[in-house]
Amino acid sequence: MLTEGQVVVHESLGDEEQRLRRLVLKGPIARTAHAGQFVAIQVQDSSIASFDPLLRRPISIAGISSERDEITLLYRIQGRGTEILARAKCGERLSVMGPLGKGFSLPEKGELWLVAGGIGIFPLYPLAQSALAQGLTVRLFWGGENKSFLESAGLSSWKDLGIPLQLSTLDGSLGQTGLVTEQAQELLEKSTASGGQIRAAACGPKKMMQAVTELFKNYKVSVEVSLEERMGCAVGACLGCVCTLIDEAGVLIHRKVCQDGPVFRGEEVVWDESC
């Protein structure tokens, strides 16, 4: 769907030095969106067309309110595109394509473990909401730079969900010091008995997605990971964003992150950069 989303909220998220923004858009996308999907948003002054930058920017859907026809996007100002996006004012209309891709799936029952690295947390929130609504047991492992980041990126909303949170920071300013996978491993050790009951969903840097996949595999927990790739069309037409999977027959195949993903079963992803 190609729509004009109207900006209803656009604000800084937490500590300004984290350069995070919260953008709420009104429009019909909310009606069909679900967790793990994303939009491709035009990051240019809305009334004077510009080629600088040329392409839309993919941003995950971080909040869905179908009653109010609103989706929330949370993003970090990373370069020119997001910097220009950050200027959009309330009332402005932004061209958005979405919802795009295939999101996370939910198990019927049991436990859902969420694993997030940095801003990979954003698409997991609506997933946690859906899972809880469905009566699943949810817990979160979340690693970030430091306390300021975790707090800025929505820690309090997560606390509001009332689920167990296992936090880690690189500098130890909040939660444990170190990597999020270490915490997950500890708990997996304890919970192996119930391994069949656990499903995991992860979003974060590629290296981390690989580590998470390998870790959970050892404990026979199946994990869905959300991947990132540079995008051209965002609808599966340009083959710019492929990732390599290995199919049941052991054959390497390509899938499009934009259309077939961004969420894939961790076990089928080939992490080798050279494919």
Ligand X SMILES: Cc1cc2nc3c(=O)[nH]c(=O)nc-3n(C[C@H](O)[C@H](O)[C@H](O)COP(=O)(O)O)c2cc1C
Confirm or reject binding of residue 116 to ligand FES (CB under 6 A). no
Q: If contact means CB under 5 to 8 A according to the sort of partner, which of ligand X, its own copies, ligand FES, none does residue 275 touch?
A: none
The residue among 56 and 139 lying less far from ligand X, judged by its C-beta, is 56
256 in contact with ligand FES (CB under 6 A):
yes
Contact between 58 and 234 (Cβ < 8 Å): yes
Stretch (H or E) spanning 256: strand 252-256
* Residue among 116, 168, 118 at smallest CA distance from 140: 116
> Could you write out the three-class secondary structure of 111-157?
EEEEEEEHHHHCCHHHHHHHHHHCCCEEEEEEEECCHHHHHHCCHHH
Whole-angstrom distance, CA of residue 273 vs CA of residue 81: 26
Closest distance to ligand FES from the beta carbon of 225 (Å): 17
Determine the interface stretch with its own copies among 14-22, 47-55, 176-184, 215-223 (rule: CB under 8 A). 47-55
Does residue 36 bind ligand FAD (CB under 6 A)? no
Question: Closest Cα to residue 90, out of 186, 7, 198, 182?
Answer: 7
Q: Interacting stretch for ligand X, rule CB under 6 A, among 17-25, 163-171, 221-229, 232-240?
A: 232-240
Q: Look up tokens 């595109």; give the residue.
A: 81
83 binds its own copies (CB under 8 A): yes
Residue 107 or 232: which CB sits closer to ligand FES?
232
Residues with Cβ within 8 Å of residue 275, at least 6 apart in sequence: 244, 252
Q: Give yes or no for residue 107 binding ligand X (CB under 6 A).
A: no
Using CB under 6 A as the binding rule, whether residue 70 contacts ligand FAD is answered as no
Q: How far is the CB of 190 from other proteins (least distance, A)?
A: 38
Please, are residues 231 and 55 in contact by the beta-carbon 8 Å criterion? yes
Per CB under 6 A, the list member of 90, 238, 252, 275 interacting with ligand X is 238
Three-class SS state of 66: coil
Instruction: Please tell me whether residue 127 binds its own copies under the rule CB under 8 A.
Output: no
Angle between the N-to-C axes of helices 180-191 and 206-218, in degrees from 0 to 180, rounded to the nearest 10: 10
| 233 touching ligand FES, by CB under 6 A | yes
The 3-state DSSP composition of the chain as helix, strand, coil percent (nearest 5) reads: 25, 35, 40
Total residues contacting ligand FAD (rule CB under 6 A)?
Answer: 22
- Annotated binding-site positions for [2Fe-2S] cluster: 233, 238, 241, 258
Interacting residues with its own copies (CB under 8 A): 45, 48, 50-52, 80, 83-84
Interacting residues with ligand FES (CB under 6 A): 231-234, 236-241, 256-258
Interacting residues with ligand X (CB under 6 A): 232, 238, 240
